[in-house]
A and B are shown apart, each in its own frame.
Chain A
Amino acid sequence: MESLLRILELQVLIPWILSLFFGIFVGAIPGLTATMAVALIVPVSYYMTPLAGLAMIIGVSYTSIFAGDIPATFLRIPGTPASGAAILDGYELGKKGEGSTALSLNLFCSVLGGIIGVLVLVSVSSRLANFALRFTHFEYFWLGLFGISMSAVISKGSKLKGLYSVLAGLMVSTIGMDITTGYPRFSFGVMGLFRGINFIPAMIGLFGLSEVFKNITDPKKLENPGIKEKISVTFKNIFATIWRFKKTVLSSSFIGVLVGALPGAGADMAAWVSYGVAKGRSKEKEKFGRGSYEGVIAPTSANNAAIGGTWIPALVFGVPGDSITAIVLGAMMMYGLTPGPLVFERNPGLITNIFQIALITQFLVIFAGLAGIKAYAAMLKLKKSLVMAGVVIFSLVGAFALNNSVFDMGIVLVFGIIGYAFEKLDIPLPPMILALILGPMIENSLRVGLLQSRGSLMPFISRPISLCLMLLIAVTFFGGFARGTLSKIFARESKKFGGK
């Protein structure tokens, strides 16, 4: 009860609720992503207590992923990549004049998926954390490697491009003082580079500024779309429909959690995979793509459930499940918290609070969602050019505010250009982010492990958990396991229906 009161204090509650609306705003505007929303909120959260900061991040991630379904339903443009699958049947229902029904299904199934995701997170993470306490440097080396190799393999595009992205991230992670000797590496005498590349400005650049560049280089993207249908939420038959498709809600949510827990997969892949599975198992397959309720329920339940899934490896092992949790890990380090199994022992109160916040957020999403849907028509009237200008200045000032450093603003610009170039060259960004955050862990584990074993590689392959992880990496990379299952469904479903 005491811990519950702690999150209901005004200094936590007010920023938490405001962040929900911020998430709705960013998520509902096509071209702005959920990752961008989280990256932009981090500099603000830095000036708050860790609890308030984490509440803001959790709030933004859930509402922005839901809000992405609004333009997907009415404009056939996914607000965030996680809503890519929602355009299929949501938009078709919208064309039939059932847009409000689709949106209501989106809202309530997002909440249900989110609740299931959080419940799995709560029930699994503590046990996994106990198991993770057995891990040593040898296991952490393979775990980090598993995280980045998985993200490279299952990201969109070729494996080689994923590998290039990973290597770019690892290369950037080596800039700055060496972990063991303290010798500056690749700093070229630049003072700002001595302490390494600050992770948060890099993320703001990669996900905030690069999105702006993407929008301003294509003037068509700056045009404001219009909506003919009146946007509202209906409760008529909604709960009966959800009850009718309760198995789809449950299975999609569990698929969402599972896919989300894989490093690099994220909510967008969870949505496509669950859509494919729901279609395969449905008795009304022919209705999919033509305005099926199941086709709306499956991806929307999965993408919000995936958020809970992405938090599992992030909290337990310190390995982010997607780019949003990569930012969360960066933010946690900024607050002085080290993610991993020890956080469950050292900060049990904070972990409980995170679970409580995530669960309560699901109920708050209903109110924020209803308000957001009502305000959506007004949101669309706001010129996108003005939003882009706001994102640019907020990115720059936010990065400056972290360390009162103009150098960090430069990092935003450089990484904004890198992010834009990567997008143009079809290089996936999430592997780079994961490598950036896991690079120091991998390097440290490898070097300390080699030091402990006096240069022998045997402990890296002879310990049971290490061996399992090593085999898992081999299967992931060379067996085509992940690509053959997840990416195939992802690519097939998205291409079939004209998604990206």
Chain B
Amino acid sequence: MSLPPSSDPGADNSLEALWERVSQSAQGEVVLDQLVDALMRATIEYAGAERGLLVLPRREEYWIEAEARTGGGIVSVNIPKSRVTAADLPESVLLHAVRTKDSVVLPDAVDAHPFSADEYLRARNPRSILCLPLLKQSGLIGIIYLENHLTSSTLAPARIAVIKLLATEAAMVLENVHLYSDIRDRDTKTRRIIDSALDAVLSIDERGRVTEWNAQAETMFGWRRDEAVGRALSELFIPDRYRDAHEKGLRHFLNTGEGPLLNRRIEITALHRHGTEFPVEVSIAPYQIDGNWEFSGFVRDITEKKLAEAATRRHREIESELAHANRAATMGQLSASIAHEVNQPIGAAVTNAHAALRWLGATPPNVDEVRQALTRIVTNGNRAADVLSRIRAFIKKAPPRKDGLDLNEAVLEVIALTRSEAKKNKVAVQMHLAEGLPAVQGDRVQLQQVVLNLIINAIEAMSASDPGSRRLLISSSQSHSNDVSVEVQDSGPGFPEASAEKIFQAFYTTKPAGLGMGLSICRSIVEAHGGQLRASVADPTGAIFAFTLPVRPNGAF
């Protein structure tokens, strides 16, 4: 703030002291209210007014910043900081001053004037008024309103000019102070946001020194803000072995503008003050202030996420091991009927070979019969190989695959695999497979394992039933909700309605030699495919195991 020019002809010497008071109170610690107080006192005394208002625009509205009154030779100033109303001043005068940016001077308001209709003037009837717009580069920064009830104004134009100058300077200070406090408010707000962030938020300058360090960063890395700010970031939480790389990366960016790790999430290892290392996810963004680069960083501790991921991975591994073990065990159970299935074509091949030898040994040799027998041997051999490869494919520990899968085809393969087991147990197998089922997305081997377990269970469940009544019904269908379901129904004794859920629990078994893992594994396989596996009691007797799988929209895989 500068002193009014001494060359001003209207400058009053006594004003200098007055100005001093105003400007001094604006120095150092800015105490807004003191400044306003001084300004108002000075103005009202200098102008000889009874009442004075300082009005400032605030977000499209006008606020009374201060009000000064003289009474009994004492000037009192109060700082209402309230919105201007028609009870405070003549609004029409104020609006005119605002609009035209011209002063309104009514030396004797008793005379006729353009504002005589104003509500305030009619009610209060002041003798003289002065309304001064305070301008800065033609922008309105405030208004001084002065009034006198007793006498008409004796204010000379030079005095008005001085008041205007004084008030304008003061309004500028006020404006700056407001801006400053706005910035401070915003800064406080930003600070609070940053401190309440769940991530550690920090920034560094071009030399890698910390310029910002929030509360989370303090907790996460064990360094207080006042310890961290000004120190090299690499000393604070970057493990020794990565420090070079960090510094090189920073230099490389400053030299070339290339930062492959910038502006995206990266996972790195961070170091706590106490020496423990932990995984974090970091995103770093560069920005420029006054031509210098700074880098803001958001750091998230992902220790728990990593642990959870590892646990999930382990869980999946165990599940897959169990599923594989179960598959192998189920196939072991089937070994008798598999042996039968393989023995059948081998027996036929051996018999055909015997026949061929006999036809060859006849006189004359019957070449045609030999050829036919050999042709049959080829077919028999291939059939045996097919059975074996089907079993191998099933037992193989293949990683889960999500393919578009024809469920009927998968079910038919399992039925083929269990045909001799059913036959051995005198079980009549019926199929009702719905035609034109949409493909499901899933792992063939896993889903076949489910079907296999359900079929083997069903066959076993009927082992005590009358051989003539052992019926196994395998059906597939599509529900209205677009799910595909497969049902395996037996005619065995069923199970008590109450244990419909219990049978899916791990280690629950009704079989003397059972481990109780089969159905529990089946359920987790089906659920991993987004489906459901349920058991119900059949009418009149038996159990129904049904699983449903969601159908993905066309072309989803």
Q: Do A and B bind each other?
A: no
Q: What residues of chain A have their CB less than 8 Å away from a CB belonging to chain B?
A: none
